[in-house]
Amino acid sequence: MEDIAKDILIRASQGDIQAFEDVYKASSSFVYNVAYRVVNNREDASEVAQEVFMIIHHKLKEFRFESSFKTWVYRITANSAINFAKKVSRTKTVPFEEAFGEGAVLNEARTQMDQEYQHQLVEKLLAELNPDQRACVVLRDIQGLSYEEIAQALNININTVRSRLKRSREKLLSVRRLVNYEKV
Amino acid sequence: MKKCEQFKDLILTDYIDAELDRDSAGNLENHLLDCSDCRAFFKEFKNNVAMPFQQAPHQPVPAEIWDTIKKNIEDENQRTNPIADLIDRLRGLIVFPKMVPVFASFALMFLAGSATLETMHVQQAQAKDQGEYLVSLLSTADASNPSDSNSGSTPIEHYFL
């Protein structure tokens, strides 16, 4: 997420719509992509992103710069996305082994570098995790946040971050072993 | 074997995430050179779990999200009560630092205390003056009317009569 100058945040908090658009431009990619990966669905991600920015708009006048604006946005985004995912709790569409197993239309060897393949692979892997685990994996592996930043965003301690990542990755490894990928 | 399990835990977390200190990372890398099982585990995890996420393409943000947010904000601004808005704006203009109310309370308490003490001093001084005046009257009465000393009335009665 890009840094935002303090004067832009102050103007946005005073109702300057142009300044708020600057805030949106600097943070929308982070917000939308985290929402998208946690709720695992484009329409729901748009809804979550809108909700996040309306919360930011309402609460910005109360923001006192005692903590980092980025951390504040990380927290609002993660909370909104996790809550949405828990509320919706969609039934899984296609299990991972069906989508990427022997009968899959996609040929892994041929499409290894294909972006759409990567995109689908990540989507199906994330579908195997619960929303809390998904948020941890997304913030770490896709957004590149440190354990400390994830702990602040999710309001949990670092050891909980560590154990959630470990359990998530063990599960993903076991799911990957179910399909017949080429042994390394 | 127990050592291998501990190293695998580190591979799944701190090592792959570059959160491990240099010495611990060095120990793990030395172990990987010696242990083919842990080496295979690391390679399998890195290629099949860690890498897909690292290579995951970022999704472009749909343009209609900002359009909807902007419209929601404009609608809210129109619905906002102008009097409440004015109060909000005034509140924003008059910003007191957090310590001001505390200092103001102390100042008020100090002023009230000073005023009370001052009143007490004045009352004490007045009482003292009255006492001295009475004593002087008594002594004057005693000196000027020695024959009245047996009249049955006291000097204080003379003062009031």
| Number of domains making up chain A | 2
Residues A73 and A101 in one domain: no
- In one-letter notation, the amino acid at residue B135 is V
Residue with the bigger pLDDT between A15 and B90: it is: A15
pLDDT of residue A105: 47
Say yes or no to pLDDT of B157 above 60.
yes
- Give the closest residue to A39 by CA, choosing from B8, B51, B134, B59: B59
Cα distances from A111 to residues A40, A58, A100, A118, B46, in angstroms, run 22, 45, 12, 9, 19
Q: Which of A90, A106, A133 is the last residue of a domain?
A: A90
Residues 6+ apart with CB under 8 A from A99: A106, A120, A124
Q: Give the residue numbers in A contacting B (CB under 8 Å), as ranges.
A: 14-15, 17, 20-21, 24, 28-29, 32-33, 36-37, 42, 45-46, 49-50, 53-54, 57, 61, 115, 118-119, 121-122, 125, 137, 140-142, 146-147, 162, 165-166, 169-170, 172-173, 176, 181, 183-184
Q: Which domain holds residue A84?
A: 1-90
Residues A132 and A165 in one domain: yes
Using the CB atoms, write b or e for A113-146: b if 16+ within 10 Å.
eeeebbebbbbbbbbbbebbbbbbbbbbbbbebe
- Whole-prediction pTM: 0.69
Q: Which of A55, A90, A125 is the last residue of a domain?
A: A90
Which CATH number characterizes residue A166's domain?
A: 1.10.10.10
Using the CB atoms, write b or e for B28-65: b if 16+ within 10 Å.
beebbeeeeebeebbebbeebbbebbeebeeeebbeeb
pLDDT of residue B57: 85
Say yes or no to pLDDT of B30 above 80.
yes
pLDDT of residue B87: 74
pLDDT of residue A178: 83
Tell me which range, B52-66, B80-94, B105-119, B141-155, is most confidently predicted by mean pLDDT.
Answer: B52-66
Residues A81 and A95 in one domain: no
pLDDT over 70 percentage in chain B? 75
Residues A44 and A96 in one domain: no
pLDDT over 70 percentage in chain A? 83
| Average pLDDT of the segment spanning B39-44 | 96
Residues A32 and A109 in one domain: no
Question: Hey, which residues 50-109 in chain B have their CB within 8 Å of chain A?
Answer: 50, 52-59, 61-62, 64-66, 68-70, 72-74, 77, 92
Residues A62 and A4 in one domain: yes
Residue A134 near residue A116 (C-beta atoms within 8 A): no
* Residues of chain B contacting A64 with CB distance shorter than 8 Å: none
Residues A34 and A4 in one domain: yes
Q: Which of A90, A110, A133 is the last residue of a domain?
A: A90
Residues 6+ apart with CB under 8 A from A61: A13, A14, B92
DSSP class of A14: T
Residue with the bigger pLDDT between B31 and B135: it is: B31
Whether the CB of B117 is below 8 Å from some CB of chain A: the reply is no
Considering only CB atoms, B59 lies closest to which of A32, A162, A166, namely A32
**ipTM associated with this complex:** 0.80
Residues A116 and A77 in one domain: no
Residues A83 and A95 in one domain: no
| Average pLDDT of the segment spanning B133-139 | 74
For residue B69, the Cα-to-chain-centroid distance in whole angstroms is 34
